[in-house]
Structures are given as C-alpha cells and as structure tokens.
Structure 1
C-alpha cells in the first residue's frame, strides 16, 4: 500500500476514534436517540440526491438501516449518555470483530480458526475484568448496552455480505433514511417529547457542529474513503488498520476528558486489544493448521498453502 493510501486510512481511523469524544459531548444534556436521529438525517441528506440507490432488496436496505442506526448507534449513544466513557466505548465496540466471527460460524456455517478462538478467549477475559472491576461509569446497564450495540454492528456486517457487490456508499446513504424516524420516536418515549423538542429548537452551535461532524465526516466521508481504499487495495490490507480506532478513541478521551485508567482496567484493556491483534493477525503469525465448526467437534486440517 502506498504511503499516501496508508496515511489516508490512518486519517479515517482518527476520525472514527475522535468521534467517540464527539458523541460524548453531543449526548451530554441532549436526548441520545435524538442525536443519533440527527446524525443519520444528515448522513442521508443531501447525499441521497446524488448517490444512486444500491442494487439490494428493500428488505435488506431497511434491515441494515435499523441494525446500524437503531441497534448499533442508538444503543451506543444511550450507553455513553448513561456515563460510559468515550475511550472505553471505543474499545468495547471492537467486540464486533469476535461477534461477527461467531455469527458467521453459527448462521453462515463458516469455520473458526484457532487464532480467532484464542483471540476471543483473551478478549473475553479482558471483558470480564472490566465488568467485574465496577470502576466504569454508567454501571452494568451501559456496559451491557454497548455490547448489544457491538452485536448490532456484527449483524450489520453479515448484511453487508448479503449485499454482495452492491455499492457500500449507496447502502450507507440510502439506509440512513430508515433510521431517523424510529430513533426520533424512541427519543420521545425514552427522554420525553419536551426535552427532545427543546434540544431541536435550542441546540447550541457546538451541538449542531458535533452532529454535522458525525453525519458528514464520520459517516459519509469516513465510509466513503474507507470503501474506496478497500476497493483499490483490498480488505486484507486495509481492514486491519481499523485496530487504530480504539487507540485514537482512548487517547483522545484521555486528552480531552483527562480520563484516567486504574491498573486493573489498563490490564483488561490490553487483554482485549491483544485478543484483537491475535484475531486479525494470528493466522499469519502462528499458521493455522485446523479450522473449527461452531457446535461441532469436527476439525478439518487445512492444506498447506503458501503465498
């Protein structure tokens, strides 16, 4: 990958990492589901008038919009609103990598590799330590909500696979039309219509700037550049760089909010990150000899393949 492309990919992961700080600032004093609704409204408009609708069934388009907008980001915004730190949220959301592998093994009958299983083991130990420490703000509820948000992300990854070779940018933009209405209704029911309308009519310039950053930069620009890089250089080279998202998320949270981490939480975070590294790169480092099917004791030796 050329240096320019690498720096561009790094720039996207920086945007996605810093976005967790923007989320934290945006939901501070504002209904979280309203913020999510506004984000996807801006992600859809005016781009929907310039981006062609993707060649996918309407059911898939609507399902993707609900999975990403309502489940993934709706629950994430609520978790952060309840007190979960921006840095920890950026790390916990990366559980989607393991959940995607598990769902693929369960629903698509794909095989799990030994490095993926080992990586999951390390990450789940780290997750258990974070949950047991009780030192994170927001309590058990915010912790559980962000894991459900990661599960929604994992399901959306499977939906992208079902979309085949459809334009990813078109999928993101057009599916963003689906999310705002259920999120707005959820905001009225969860936070009340008074606070929801007040935030709409009395939002500060900083509030609307944060929403614009999430809608245009994080969603449209971020996904647009990332998809273009994958198309040009392949997912195998580009996708692993997403591991930089929690790095930027933790650093930006520590710098802006002066967030500190107890020793136990630092150790737990390192275990989760080590699990991610093993999950993504372990096959190259260790060489996988076997593949495992979920819910089956069968293991199949892989043929010797050299690149």
Structure 2
C-alpha cells in the first residue's frame, strides 16, 4: 500500500475507535433508538445528491437492517446498559469470528488451519469475558451486545450481493433505509413528546458528537474504507481494523477513566489476538463440489 493510503487506513481505525466514546457521551442525553436514528439520518444526507444504486430493494433492506440497524442499535443498547466502551469495541470486532463461521456454514468456505486456530483463540477470549459479566452490567445487556457482531457478520455476507456498485452511494442509501424504521421505533418506544424533548434540548456537546458519528464515522470513514477495499486486496486493508479496539479502549481510558480487571483485560487481549490470527491468515477455500 502507498504510504498515504496506509495513513488513511489508520485514520479510519482512529475515527471508528473514537466513535465509541462519542456514542457514550451522546447516550447521556439520547435514548439508544434516537441516537442510532440520528446517526443514520445525518449520514443519509448524501442521498439528496446521489441516485439509488442498482440494487434491489429487498437486498438493500436486508443489508441495511443487519450491517447498520441491527449492529449499531445493539451497540447502543450495550453501551447504554453499562458495558464499558473499550470492551464494546472489542466485542464488536469479534464479527470476524462470526463472519468466517457463517461463511463456512452458508457458502462452504472452509476456514484455513490458521483461521480455525484464530477462531478458537477468540472464542476462548469471549468465554473469559463472559466470566466477568454480572458485576458492572447484566447478562441480558451483554447478550444484546453480542447481537452486534452477529448482525455485523450477516451484513458482511449480504454485502456480496451488491457487487459492482459505487460504495459511497450504496452506504448513503443503506443509512437512509436504516434511519426511517429507527426513528419510528424511537417515537413508538419513547413517545412523541419525550422524543421531541430530547431533540429540542440537545446540548451543543451532544450535537457535535452526533455530527462526528454521522458525518465523520459513518459517512466519511465508510467511504474511505470502501475506497481502500476497492484499490487494494482485502488482506492488506482489513487487518487495520485491529487498531479499532485498541483506539476505543485507549480513548475510553483517557476520557472516562475506564479500567479493566485482570480476567476481562486478558479476555479482551485474547479476542484481539484471535482476530489478528484470523485476519492475517490466508483466505478460506470453497469446498469442492460433489462429484468433482
């Protein structure tokens, strides 16, 4: 990769890691549903200027509801429920484990030996983290948060159905598709008056956080990431995502003073280590067809 593109990949990781901190601040004033809806309303602004990509509505909705709506709503519920920001960033990145596992089951993409080792390592790390659940947040909240990497993984696989379209246009419309039901959910769950009160009494700090999450983290960073994936093999680009949990953990420690017990910290490092093994291993090979 060119040095400038390496810097862009690192920049994306820093933006995504910092977005977890911004989400935590925004959730002090906004409900998880409204915060997630605003994220995508802001990120969908480019839809005013770009046409809908040539992707069927069912495919567009399926990708949006998993990759965006499901993933980020579960994240918001987890953070609002007390899961530390640093831990949340690690859990979300475990999507690599689920992506490879689902691809093996659904598409016959047999994991390589090293990817299998990485899956085992990451699974052990998740079990270690599970051993710390129940002290500062509930098992239910942790279970909801674990839906985030699952939705993320399913969305990754569904994204294959949108090959050959402009990434910027696609992600803008994915944001719009997610924003509409999320706003409806916020109003239905919280009520019209409380929702309007949250919006009309939003502090400047939270407004800036939402602009950062919507425009910079969701719109700009995803566009950069899509451009890098277009110009370089995924094996060169995807490993930079390993920086996200480190940035998220470091930022949360600085901003919120978050600390982790030995078992949880060991589990987090084990998960990241397993993800590193998976991402740096060679791509899986499809299973041979019957009779071949």
* TM-score tier after normalising by the smaller chain length: over 0.9
Does residue 241 (structure 1) correspond to residue 201 (structure 2)? The answer is: no
Helix, strand or coil for the counterpart of 1:121?
Answer: helix
Cα drift, residue 246 of structure 1: 0.6
1:83 equivalent in structure 2:
82
1:50 equivalent in structure 2:
49
Judge conservation of contact 1:42–1:215 (CA < 8 Å) in 2. Answer: yes
How many residues are aligned here?
Answer: 289
* Structure 1 runs not aligned, ≥5 long: 299-307
Separation of aligned partners in 1, 2:236 and 2:229: 8
After TM superposition, the structure 1 = structure 2 runs for residues 270-289 of structure 1, keeping only pairs within 5 Å, are 270-283=269-282
Cα drift, residue 98 of structure 1: 0.8
TM-score, length-scaled by structure 1: 0.89
Helix, strand or coil for the counterpart of 2:28?
Answer: coil
Judge conservation of contact 1:113–1:292 (CA < 8 Å) in 2. Answer: no
Cα drift, residue 157 of structure 1: 0.4
Judge conservation of contact 1:31–1:195 (CA < 8 Å) in 2. Answer: no
Superposed CA deviations along residues 78-126 of structure 1, whole A, max 9, x for unmatched, are 1111111111000000111111111111111211212122111111111
Residues 138 and 197 from structure 1, CA distance in 2 versus in 1: closer, same or farther, beyond 3 angstroms? Answer: farther
After TM superposition, the structure 1 = structure 2 runs for residues 182-221 of structure 1, keeping only pairs within 5 Å, are 182-221=181-220
1:100 equivalent in structure 2:
99
Judge conservation of contact 2:38–2:179 (CA < 8 Å) in 1. Answer: yes
User: What RMSD in Å do the two structures reach over aligned CA positions?
Assistant: 2.0
Separation of aligned partners in 2, 1:292 and 1:220: 33
Superposed CA deviations along residues 171-204 of structure 1, whole A, max 9, x for unmatched, are 1101211112221232234444443221111111
TM-score, length-scaled by structure 2: 0.93
Helix, strand or coil for the counterpart of 2:131?
Answer: helix
Does residue 25 (structure 1) correspond to residue 12 (structure 2)? The answer is: no
Judge conservation of contact 1:84–1:136 (CA < 8 Å) in 2. Answer: no
Cα drift, residue 28 of structure 1: 1.5
Cα drift, residue 292 of structure 1: 9.1
Cα drift, residue 69 of structure 1: 3.1
Cα drift, residue 135 of structure 1: 6.0
Higher mean Cα deviation, 16-25 or 141-150? 141-150
